[in-house]
A and B are shown apart, each in its own frame.
Chain A
């Protein structure tokens, strides 16, 4: 288990923290630190099944300021890559990006959902990115974005589908992992990919070969 270390990511995290007690719900941009906060017990192997308490923008969290060291640790080792511009995105028109590397398997869809999503950025918190391969057996999901329901799927192989407004949680699945979500940050109009939550199909480590 990786030792959790806050300091590692200081060089890439430039956005100030936002206290949810005071921050408006429509926070214009949210750092990856605010993407997820945790109150789960840390340490040793227990951290492997980390539980996440209320989301920042649920607005009810008393834990504001408790920055997610878990997410910090997860994203610290990832490159920070500009993947698009907010103004260039059209609702429900996915754009193919590659992250964290250039390999085919690291193809992802950057999508403006038109509906707030967990981990979404932008003024409407509706811009998300997800890896484009099913976490069940690697089925291509590139053309399987369901704009009506904001889900990815059903995968043509075994019918798995994933809710893009809920961190890629299964809607109906054979997969045993959420669809990997690319952690995004907004700097002005520029969208940066800064990490991945979840393991990409076929990889033992998302950064293999990167």
Chain B
């Protein structure tokens, strides 16, 4: 069951018919869900095995009489919310159940992911028993236990050697951006402060760039809205995500309660789309990758009809002069500056472009997006009121389906549409991301962009594409922290080939346990131009299992005190409530030991709280400013974690301000209607609280030129004559991220025993495929960009020219999955889970050619031919459900 590969996990559950209740003296600790952006508040309750509470209110820790006879009241722990953990070395019952919160998940609501999070906990008697417990060193090809002392010495000595001899450009760090402030602070302190390497990227993309780049360029903080804003909208335009599937409580608790009408733009009909259609909304079933054309056509139609919110535009869209504010006399070389200089326009000029743009014509949009004209028009009417006196309150939400198919153009054209529909500054009229992971990133230093060779044209800087830099042989030491680097990146199998050839297939392999021997061998590895690979993880995954020289066992959620904010910027504590497995340590501790041994100063933290106290000031003047909390705690003689623990599920909505010894929260950003008092002490008067982020404080409309993407799109889209279909990908309700916990949750695995691909009945029939068949999916045109970091002219970055100049090579990708025959996907398009582990994931089937304007990946644009290679066993088929999510 807990295999890390692509095998069938067979785990039908025999459900429990009772659950032990915690006694009144059970230990209750506040925490929040470890999974999606919504970050529902939870309670972790532990008590020794051998004791149990009773069903009367005074006999249990919930203080509730059982059975509970009302719906929607919380405090009913279902059996999957119970597990057995070790606490102080002794077996303890453990219930992790939603908090009764005033915010986010009120009334104990939870998703299918978070609801079962108790099963994430390490338990020696459960499928989580294979958690990593001790550092491992690859000796003679096999990972074998060693001590922390030796592991950190080897990592430090070899890392220092590479840094000293080859410089920071040879020392790479690939790490999660979200797994708690304390850890991301420590990681960035080493990577960006001590080593100052630009070879640094987050788990989900090859370079350290903004996600919704276009919105950032326009001046929008993508996590500005509060959840009440979504609920108060009359209509929400949702692009590239189904919040029911992936941000469930935002949908079921806020959007459904608000009774908003939804315009959903997705190629696939997931459950939230059905709800939208049933509740007077509209589904725009867009052809994969064509969102920009849709947005441009909608903008043009609205402008032609005069339905735009002219008052809002006049007040908030930057004029010609304001576009230049803050650019100074310099080179305008930061990413937003060079992009806005080139494509930013006043409303007048933008309108002129739009009305002449042939790619913004309705006929072209209908042809390319596959959406009927009348539906596009109906959506325009719904969003603007269609010229009626009362304009509906329209909000705009996007996520990865939008920005990971065509990053810059999709986000910038989406932003244009939002601005002309009046969104941005008012309650229920907001623009933002729905979000993926929670917001647990804080950076100890800014990214050293000036060191990268990446240039768009002569001046435009970009963050370094780490995968490209690795593939071109520049990296000799790579530290991978909490991410499946291979499966997570495009052209994943080609990246895997490179990593393999330069790590486990290098001729420099450790043969004995002596530390000095290991260090010398790995130095020789680096000298030979191969790569030393370190991996911090909680389980052995592909990178650790097959390629890493050192594997460091990490202590995670529930095993150490941590902090983080969620999708509406609410900061909470994630308490330690049980023992980490074996000798596992939090990532900040691992980083600190290695950094100290490398000779760097400032890593003498004893506890997570020490790190927290240090990182506060690095959040100042940002959307997650929590420095005032630290100041307030100090002034009042309290420890900040105690303050957060007392606040429990409520937390603090960031950014915070300190005024007359009171902490003041910020409900939404870009809100000019709230008076912000003069800053006191450490507080800042955050610009983005009252206006937009760019120097003029206004929103910047941009030209979204389809021609910048057209040649690539035409090249990589499926070829009918070859029988190819789109393979797009994304999250689904029941599974979180790379399935690392879900593989160990029998309740989830009974439904999703292996990777799957959804295919329309018409395509399935044409290929002779049925439910439960296993197919090989192959793409013989997986393009990889290698080099081409610096190009003199803008047009050199068009795919055609990159290829002509020899920076593109062609590989192939292969994946297999079980077929679901279903009409939720249209003919011509299939959908796969985005990151099933084992290398045969959707990213093997898409090209590693990043958006040249931002260096963002284009994960959603895979394709493949399909061939039946087997079928799942009958007994498994008889137990699975192939029912559609009606």
- A contacts, CB < 8 Å to B: 36, 38, 40, 44-46, 48-55, 57-58, 60-61, 70-71, 74, 103-105, 118, 133, 135-140, 146, 149-151, 154, 157-159, 161, 163, 165-167, 169-178, 180, 196-206, 208-209
Bound-state Cα–Cα, A58 to B111, Å: 33
Specify which chain B residues have a CB less than 8 angstroms from the CB of A133 in the assembled complex. Answer: 71
Bound-state Cα–Cα, A136 to B123, Å: 24
Q: Which of the segments B8-16, B378-386, B567-575, B634-642 contacts the partner chain? A: B8-16
Specify which chain B residues have a CB less than 8 angstroms from the CB of A177 in the assembled complex. Answer: 15, 78-80, 747
* With A49-B746, A170-B112, A204-B20 as contacts: A151 and B883 at CB distance below 8 Å: yes
Question: Is the Cβ of B734 less than 8 Å from the Cβ of A208?
Answer: no
User: Residue B81 at the A interface, CB < 8 A?
Assistant: yes
Specify which chain A residues have a CB less than 8 angstroms from the CB of B127 in the assembled complex. Answer: 49
User: Residue B304 at the A interface, CB < 8 A?
Assistant: no
* With A161-B886, A204-B55 as contacts: A50 and B13 at CB distance below 8 Å: yes
Distance (Å) between the CB of B827 and the closest chain A CB?
A: 22
Question: Is the Cβ of A105 less than 8 Å from the Cβ of B13?
Answer: no
User: Residue B733 at the A interface, CB < 8 A?
Assistant: yes
Question: Is the Cβ of A171 less than 8 Å from the Cβ of B55?
Answer: no
Question: Is the Cβ of B66 less than 8 Å from the Cβ of A204?
Answer: yes
Bound-state Cα–Cα, A196 to B109, Å: 25
Specify which chain A residues have a CB less than 8 angstroms from the CB of B739 in the assembled complex. Answer: none
Given contacts A159-B271, A198-B79, 7 further A-B contacts (CB under 8 A): A38-B14, A51-B1, A51-B11, A61-B875, A139-B71, A150-B883, A178-B15
Chain A residue with Cβ nearest B1: A51
User: Residue B613 at the A interface, CB < 8 A?
Assistant: no
Distance (Å) between the CB of A10 and the closest chain B CB?
A: 20
* With A49-B746, A105-B67, A137-B108 as contacts: A199 and B72 at CB distance below 8 Å: no
User: Residue B389 at the A interface, CB < 8 A?
Assistant: no
Specify which chain A residues have a CB less than 8 angstroms from the CB of B110 in the assembled complex. Answer: 136, 174, 176
Mostly, the B contact residues are loop
Specify which chain A residues have a CB less than 8 angstroms from the CB of B76 in the assembled complex. Answer: 137-138, 201-203
Specify which chain A residues have a CB less than 8 angstroms from the CB of B72 in the assembled complex. Answer: 137-139, 157
Distance (Å) between the CB of A168 and the closest chain B CB?
A: 8
Specify which chain A residues have a CB less than 8 angstroms from the CB of B194 in the assembled complex. Answer: none
User: Residue B674 at the A interface, CB < 8 A?
Assistant: no
Bound-state Cα–Cα, A171 to B883, Å: 7
Distance (Å) between the CB of B439 and the closest chain A CB?
A: 23
Question: Is the Cβ of B14 less than 8 Å from the Cβ of A197?
Answer: yes
Query: 1/0 contact trace for B83-118 toward A, CB 8 Å?
Result: 010000000000000000000000111111001100
Which among A48, A51, A209 is the interface contact of B12 at CB below 8 angstroms? A51
Question: Is the Cβ of A204 less than 8 Å from the Cβ of B21?
Answer: yes
Specify which chain B residues have a CB less than 8 angstroms from the CB of A70 in the assembled complex. Answer: 14
| 5 A-B interface contacts by CB (under 8 A) | A157-B71, A159-B275, A166-B879, A171-B885, A175-B112
Bound-state Cα–Cα, A50 to B10, Å: 11
User: Residue B68 at the A interface, CB < 8 A?
Assistant: yes
Question: Is the Cβ of B252 less than 8 Å from the Cβ of A52?
Answer: no
Query: Which 4 residue pairs are nearest across A and B when measured between Cβ atoms?
Result: A45-B125, A54-B875, A198-B15, A138-B71
Question: Is the Cβ of A55 less than 8 Å from the Cβ of B78?
Answer: no
Bound-state Cα–Cα, A201 to B15, Å: 13
Chain B residue with Cβ nearest A44: B125
Kindly count the residue-residue contacts between A and B in the assembled complex, taking CB atoms under 8 Å apart: 199
Chain A residue with Cβ nearest B108: A137
Distance (Å) between the CB of A46 and the closest chain B CB?
A: 6
Specify which chain A residues have a CB less than 8 angstroms from the CB of B750 in the assembled complex. Answer: 169
Question: Is the Cβ of B883 less than 8 Å from the Cβ of A205?
Answer: no
Query: 1/0 contact trace for B328-339 toward A, CB 8 Å?
Result: 000000000000
Which among A46, A138, A163, A208 is the interface contact of B883 at CB below 8 angstroms? A163
User: Residue B801 at the A interface, CB < 8 A?
Assistant: no
Question: Is the Cβ of B79 less than 8 Å from the Cβ of A60?
Answer: no
Specify which chain B residues have a CB less than 8 angstroms from the CB of A103 in the assembled complex. Answer: 67, 69
Question: Is the Cβ of A176 less than 8 Å from the Cβ of B71?
Answer: no
Distance (Å) between the CB of A62 and the closest chain B CB?
A: 11
Bound-state Cα–Cα, A159 to B885, Å: 10
Bound-state Cα–Cα, A139 to B252, Å: 13
Question: Is the Cβ of A176 less than 8 Å from the Cβ of B112?
Answer: yes
User: Residue B126 at the A interface, CB < 8 A?
Assistant: yes
Question: Is the Cβ of A159 less than 8 Å from the Cβ of B244?
Answer: yes
Bound-state Cα–Cα, A74 to B13, Å: 13
Question: Is the Cβ of A149 less than 8 Å from the Cβ of B69?
Answer: no
* With A172-B271, A208-B66 as contacts: A159 and B252 at CB distance below 8 Å: yes
User: Residue B18 at the A interface, CB < 8 A?
Assistant: yes
Most B Cβ at <10 Å: residue of A61, A104, A139, A171: A171
Bound-state Cα–Cα, A171 to B72, Å: 21
Bound-state Cα–Cα, A140 to B517, Å: 67
Bound-state Cα–Cα, A197 to B243, Å: 32
Specify which chain B residues have a CB less than 8 angstroms from the CB of A136 in the assembled complex. Answer: 110, 115
Which among A54, A74, A150, A174 is the interface contact of B252 at CB below 8 angstroms? A174
User: Residue B355 at the A interface, CB < 8 A?
Assistant: no
Question: Is the Cβ of A48 less than 8 Å from the Cβ of B16?
Answer: yes
Which among B12, B66, B84 is the interface contact of A203 at CB below 8 angstroms? B66
Chain B residue with Cβ nearest A175: B112
Bound-state Cα–Cα, A49 to B744, Å: 10
Bound-state Cα–Cα, A101 to B829, Å: 50
Chain A residue with Cβ nearest B84: A45
* With A45-B125, A173-B734 as contacts: A149 and B78 at CB distance below 8 Å: no
Specify which chain A residues have a CB less than 8 angstroms from the CB of B12 in the assembled complex. Answer: 51-52, 167
Question: Is the Cβ of B886 less than 8 Å from the Cβ of A58?
Answer: no
Distance (Å) between the CB of B496 and the closest chain A CB?
A: 31
Which among B18, B80, B248, B881 is the interface contact of A205 at CB below 8 angstroms? B18
User: Residue B17 at the A interface, CB < 8 A?
Assistant: yes
Bound-state Cα–Cα, A199 to B76, Å: 11
Bound-state Cα–Cα, A156 to B421, Å: 32
Question: Is the Cβ of A199 less than 8 Å from the Cβ of B15?
Answer: yes
Question: Is the Cβ of B886 less than 8 Å from the Cβ of A198?
Answer: no
- Per the 8 Å Cβ criterion, residues 838-886 of B in contact with A are 873-875, 878-881, 883-886
Distance (Å) between the CB of B749 and the closest chain A CB?
A: 9
Specify which chain B residues have a CB less than 8 angstroms from the CB of A139 in the assembled complex. Answer: 71-72
Specify which chain A residues have a CB less than 8 angstroms from the CB of B112 in the assembled complex. Answer: 170, 173-176
Chain A residue with Cβ nearest B244: A159
